[in-house]
Structure 1
Amino acid sequence: MSVSLIDTHCHINFFSNAGEIALECEKKKIHTIYVTTLPSQFEETYLYVKPLKYIYPSLGFHCLENDYNLEKEKSIFLRNISKTKFIGEVGLDFSKRAIQSKEKQIEIFKFILNNIKSKNKIINLHSSNAEDIVLEFLIKYDIKKAIFHWYSGKIGTLNEILNYGYYFSINESMCKSKKGQNIISKIPKERILIETDAPFIKNILPYKNHYVYSYLSNQWQLDIDTVIYIVYNNFNRLQNTDNKKNLFDF
């Protein structure tokens, strides 16, 4: 079998050597979803990553980025929707650090969902302390494809998310905490994706992200090549595309 590693959530632009990171992912054939946190970030970097085969630019509008010129960012979001099938990082955060901006977050999230609901997009979600309402909005706006990034919510909500066909991306920090390990154990093999969330999880690079694969290998009692195959096949199934660059070479 000939498959590659994936990273479904990486903030490449936050690295000081972002260009080198992107080119190394390309060289090593690491399929990497490059998430942004503002539409203007996406627009500023899109032309640089567009020629790369293994970097997937993702149009983001992070829930904590709500003190910018929102009308300007909304306009940028709208004119860039057609450039990518990936939307993220977006979502809601009702933790103590962010609850004061709850209404503004909801406004932005509704704006995003309303403008992608009839399009074949894959949405990359932040849902800290807001998992239930994020799911509620996905259902309301009939969003078909979603990845819950670094999920930390209730198992009951996790099961509901699975019932709607959505995916979860797990990372090294989750594998090293008891709560994260418990969550990972509840996710079926066919719904797991792997992320780094680099550089926010420190000392991890998208092309040196072997820890999670090894962890799953031990948990699933499967050899590492089989784990790589399963996770990559999940990524392929999520995309459900005829674009050959995204298909396996078996």
Structure 2
Amino acid sequence: MRLVDFHCHLDLYPDFEALVAESERLGIFTLAVTTTPKAFARNNMLASSTKYVRAALGLHPQLVAERWREIDLWERLIGETRYIGEVGLDAGPRYYSSLDRQTDVFRHILRSCAREGGKVLSIHSVRAATKVLDLIEEEVPEGRAKFVLHWFTGSTAEARRATDLGCYFSINSQMLSHDRGRSLVASIPIERILTETDGPFTPNGASPSRPRDVKQTLSLVSKAKSIPENHCADLVIENLKALTT
């Protein structure tokens, strides 16, 4: 069974290099997202010799208040990868005070991706799904980039709007641990679903999730969509191909 972990912070594990090697050995397509552009170089170096691991260039919205000046470095690195993440907006209580700055940074990122063309973005949208979708509509002409909403917590109406805009959704086990999340996932067309761990921020028992643990997420998605697990795995692979070609 081929697996996809489309959002994992590999560089936040103590055995970062071993985890890259494990994903490669197991043939798990793993998107190594970064939280700042300063972290990208090492991720990209380790991923560059693999078939299955890809490094994404990020500037996490929760770090924008302190790290927004790194947008200049982000801009200099954009040509080195097709994948952008983790980027987006966070309007939760802890980060709301920086929302204007986050919006400026995310708008800059979207404009740069539209200019470059062909980028695939993994997007954070906590309490900000409508604003994220508004900015995508405003800044990115159709066909200039592709979007994956990571750990989506918006409403079913917002999910429907995102689907109409062509967005994909990367689903993790935590999303499927409660009725609201299961209902939301059930409402998303299967052809727009990818799987993720968001490790190390999700647990697998007493330990942080690793890319290999995405199989458990796949099992939960298959139940939410009433699809046999093997078939669900094949569909996720097909979705990944559609996203990246």
TM-score (norm 1): 0.91
Are residues 222 and 102 of structure 1, via their aligned partners in 2, closer, same or farther at CA, if it must alter by over 3 Å?
closer
Q: Matched residue of 2:86: which SS?
A: strand
* Partner in structure 1 of residue 124 of structure 2: 126
* Partner in structure 2 of residue 117 of structure 1: 114
CA-CA distance at 1:154 after TM superposition: 1.3
**Of 96-105 and 138-147, the range deviating more from structure 2:** 138-147
* Partner in structure 2 of residue 245 of structure 1: none
Q: Which of 206, 223, 226 is equivalent to 2:228?
A: 223
Query: Deviation per CA, 1:137-188, whole angstroms, max 9, x where unpaired?
Result: 0111125310000111111111111101110111101111111111101101
* Partner in structure 2 of residue 18 of structure 1: 16
CA-CA distance at 1:69 after TM superposition: 4.7
CA contact (8 A) 1:43 1:76 kept: no
* Partner in structure 1 of residue 243 of structure 2: 238
1:21-170 equivalences in 2 (<5 Å): 21-71=19-69, 73-118=70-115, 119-142=117-140, 144-170=145-171
CA-CA distance at 1:64 after TM superposition: 1.0
TM-score (norm 2): 0.93
Structure number with the higher helix fraction is 2
CA contact (8 A) 2:34 2:56 kept: yes
AA at the equivalent of 2:244: Q
CA contact (8 A) 2:89 2:106 kept: yes
Counterpart Cα distance in 2 of 1:213 and 1:70 = 35
AA at the equivalent of 1:185: A
AA at the equivalent of 2:35: T
Counterpart Cα distance in 2 of 1:171 and 1:70 = 28
Contiguous gaps of at least 5 residues in structure 1: 241-250
Counterpart Cα distance in 1 of 2:170 and 2:43 = 24
Counterpart Cα distance in 1 of 2:164 and 2:173 = 25
CA contact (8 A) 1:64 1:98 kept: yes
CA-CA distance at 1:207 after TM superposition: 1.3
Query: Deviation per CA, 1:43-65, whole angstroms, max 9, x where unpaired?
Result: 24321221111111000011111
CA contact (8 A) 1:125 1:147 kept: yes
Q: Matched residue of 2:166: which SS?
A: coil
Identity %: 30
CA contact (8 A) 2:197 2:217 kept: no
Q: Does 1:187 align with 2:188?
A: yes
Q: How many residues align?
A: 237
